[in-house]
Amino acid sequence: MSEQQRRGELTERVKNKSKEKLGYEINRTELRLMPYIQYILMNSQKLETCHVNSKELETLVKWKDRGFIAGRYSRLRITKDFWDAMNEILFLAYVDVV
């Protein structure tokens, strides 16, 4: 029987997908930050630092260091590869397959 996916849960298959797509296993903070990043990139492209905590800011620095994101918080940009990886991870973690 396959693993039951709960919405937003960092399961083994989500971890495995992140290793496949990003080259490392994401943590819960990264998983929970991804929907917000997706939302702001599709809308204002402006990250409101008052809406993220210190661990999430550390994650953004980590992603910037890895080359996944660029720009300032007032004009956040993202690579196509990270966008695709993030959406696949979010699909598994939040939407799931039928």
pLDDT of residue 1: 41
Residue with structure tokens 């930050």? 33
pLDDT of residue 71: 84
Split at pLDDT 50, 70, 90, the class of 8 is confident
Q: Could you tell me which residue, 76 or 19, shows the higher pLDDT? A: 19
Contact 70, 77 (CB under 8 A): yes
Burial 6-34 (b: 16+ CB within 10 A, else e): eeeebeeebbebbeebbeeebeebbbbbb
Q: What is the pLDDT of residues 52-77, one digit of tens each?
A: 999 999 999 999 999 999 987 778 89
Structure tokens at 92: 């598994």
